Amino acid sequence: MDTFLVVLNVIFMLVLLGILYWMQKKHISFTKRVFTGLGLGIVYGVILQLVYGAGSDTIAKSVDWFNLVGNGYVKLLQMIVIPLIMVSIISAIMNLKGRQNLGKMSFSIIAVLLITTAIAASVSIVTSLTFDLKAIEITAGDAEQERGAALEERVGEVEDLTIPQQVLSFIPSNPFEDMTGARSTSTLAVVIFSAFVGVAVLGLDRKKPEQARTFRNMIEAVYGVVMRIVTIVLRLTPYGILALITKVVSTTNPDEILKLLKFVLASYVALLVMFVIHLVLISLFGYNPVTYVRKVLPTLVFAFTSRSSAATIPLNIETQTRKLGVSEGIANLSASFGATIGQNGCAGIYPAMLAVMIAPTVGIDPTSWDFILTLIAVVVISSFGVAGVGGGATFASLIVLSTLNLPVALAGLLISVEPLIDMGRTALNVNDSITSGLISGKILKENNQDVYNDRGPDLDATAAL
């Protein structure tokens, strides 16, 4: 009977996928297909949970099949991240002209990422105090205690790395190993290696122009092939979102959410406030926020459902270049840096909120200015070092809590709602990287305002779909 139900669930998923395929054949816009996939996934996930229950073995087995589409799509995106970053950055740098400067680009992008992280930490502190969040009010079950113990074991990995050591970990000693994603800092290492290749081509132009011309032609050919692969993979976005959101909704336990409802609400209030601040910032630089939201929403929806900033890099770059008019060099750098440095959600809001919640358990007043200013400074510094140790929000929290001498085990109390909150955090991370690219492009006069203002019938990042 259980096998029959699983087969029935899979067949129904195939029907929903068929609806999206029909929409594609009818040339319905990419954006509409993305939101149709999101809506169908939410409805189907609710139905599965109502029929079987969140912890049902039938749902677990059904989701295992759904993962062929959802996780398969995420893996395809991850497959093209490194090739895309490499050829895009090399191409962008070797085509730099006149006033364009790699150092200015990098400095501007990183500055925006870190400044917004400081703002995100401040927003998180205010929100936590407003909601009066306290770790002592949360009941710890077996899963929470196990998670807390695991965090205490892992904190040594963070404490043993100094900031200079974390920065050194960005530098690739073996770029070919980093191309396999072997290290937590592989993405940044590939960015650095690609930048060196691009700069070397500029030097070769002056000394051996014939060799430089040959290399340029080769990179341009590879770039064309990689971008075609990106286009093919991105066509699958609505299908991936359908499967991913169905999994999330069908396996999320409502009882666990209700127990930590105040924390979930506070988290999303902070995330939404920070998103509005991003819109205010781009408005100050002369961009229409309504146009911005309309153009980036499909990318943020994927980030939300996939919970992966790295997997969103291809969509991120496509959105910046084709929809917002950001130059390729800035778009690639901001998408790559934003996936590992200054993440507003994972490295800003989340660890600051945990610190405010946990501080009273050791007799620290979270409203004191000494604590608040120290916390913001630690969050900003650690957000730059998160890439050096990997693990996203968890490691960011370990760095902040251990630096402030707060008990890290209490962070395990939130394990049951971690996936739900992580969806919003990831979307904010990606939005911040897009914001940094847009603002940096404006500062450096590298943006195409006409592309940004284009209000054509289909505002897809993948217009060729």
What per-residue confidence (pLDDT) applies to 139? 53
Q: What is the mean pLDDT of the chain?
A: 83
Distance between CA atoms of residues 69 and 65, nearest Å = 8
CA dihedral 225, 227, 230, 232 (to 10 degrees): -60
Q: What is the largest CA-CA distance in the chain?
A: 74
The whole-number average pLDDT for the span 148-167 is: 58
Q: 389 pLDDT exceeds 50?
A: no
What per-residue confidence (pLDDT) applies to 457? 43
What per-residue confidence (pLDDT) applies to 187? 76
What per-residue confidence (pLDDT) applies to 119? 96
Distance between CA atoms of residues 412 and 418, nearest Å = 9
Percent of the chain whose predicted confidence (pLDDT) is above 70: 85
Domains of the chain: 2-453 (1.10.3860.10)
Write the CA distances from 103 to 89, 195, 326, 406, 461, integer angstroms: 13, 10, 17, 37, 28
The whole-number average pLDDT for the span 388-402 is: 67
The whole-number average pLDDT for the span 242-257 is: 83
Q: 145 pLDDT exceeds 70?
A: no
For 257-261, 328-332, 436-440, 451-455, which range has the lowest pLDDT when averaged over its residues?
Answer: 257-261
Tell me the pLDDT tens digit for each residue of 322-372: 899 998 888 888 988 888 788 898 889 989 998 998 888 888 899 999 999
Tell me the pLDDT tens digit for each residue of 189-208: 888 888 889 888 888 888 88
Distance between CA atoms of residues 439 and 446, nearest Å = 10
Question: Which tokens go with 164?
Answer: 């200079």
- Look at residues 428, 451, 192 and name the one whose alpha carbon lies nearest to residue 312: 428
Q: Is the Cβ–Cβ distance between 135 and 413 less than 8 Å?
A: yes
What per-residue confidence (pLDDT) applies to 388? 40
Helices 186-207 & 102-130, crossing angle to 10 degrees? 160
- Look at residues 374, 336, 358 and name the one whose alpha carbon lies nearest to residue 409: 358
Q: 185 pLDDT exceeds 90?
A: no
The whole-number average pLDDT for the span 400-408 is: 80
Confidence band for 413, pLDDT divided at 50, 70 and 90: low
Q: How many CB atoms sit inside 10 A of residue 246's CB?
A: 31
The whole-number average pLDDT for the span 4-22 is: 93
What per-residue confidence (pLDDT) applies to 97? 60
Percent of the chain whose predicted confidence (pLDDT) is above 90: 32
Distance between CA atoms of residues 195 and 199, nearest Å = 6
Say which residue, 450 or 97, is predicted with more confidence. Answer: 450
3-state secondary structure the chain: CHHHHHHHHHHHHHHHHHHHHHHHHCCCCHHHHHHHHHHHHHHHHHHHHHHHCCCCHHHHHHHHHHHHHHHHHHHHHHHHHHHHHHHHHHHHHHCCCCCCCHHHHHHHHHHHHHHHHHHHHHHHHHHHHHCCCCHHHCCCCHHHHHHHHHHHHHHHHHHCCCHHHHHHCCCCCCHHHHCCCCCCCHHHHHHHHHHHHHHHHHHHHHHCHHHHHHHHHHHHHHHHHHHHHHHHHHCCHHHHHHHHHHHHHHHCCHHHHHHCHHHHHHHHHHHHHHHHHHHHHHHHCCCCHHHHHHHHHHHHHHHHHHCCCCCCHHHHHHHHHHHCCCCHHHHHHHHHHHCCCCCHHHHHHHHHHHHHHHHHHHCCCCCCHHHHHHHHHHHHHHHHHHHHHCCHHHHHHHHHHHHCCCCHHHHHHHHHHHHHHHHHHHHHHHHHHHHHHHHHHHHCCCCCHHHHHCCCCCCCCCCCC
Q: 409 pLDDT exceeds 80?
A: no
What per-residue confidence (pLDDT) applies to 464? 40
Q: 165 pLDDT exceeds 80?
A: no
Tell me the pLDDT tens digit for each residue of 105-128: 888 999 999 999 999 999 999 999
Distance between CA atoms of residues 254 and 418, nearest Å = 13
What per-residue confidence (pLDDT) applies to 174? 85
Question: Which tokens go with 218?
Answer: 């080769």
Tell me the pLDDT tens digit for each residue of 281-326: 999 999 999 999 999 999 998 888 888 887 788 889 889 988 999 9
What per-residue confidence (pLDDT) applies to 461? 41
Confidence band for 448, pLDDT divided at 50, 70 and 90: confident
Tell me the pLDDT tens digit for each residue of 42-64: 999 999 988 888 778 899 899 99
Q: How far apart are the first and last CA of the chain?
A: 41
Q: Is the Cβ–Cβ distance between 311 and 236 less than 8 Å?
A: no
Sign of CA dihedral 372, 374, 379, 380: positive
Write the CA distances from 448 to 23, 287, 378, 405, 433, integer angstroms: 31, 12, 36, 47, 18
Q: 462 pLDDT exceeds 60?
A: no
Write the CA distances from 327 to 128, 183, 461, integer angstroms: 38, 28, 14
User: Tokens 């949970």 identify what position?
Assistant: 49
CA–chain centroid gap for 268, Å, is 16
In one-letter notation, the amino acid at residue 35 is F
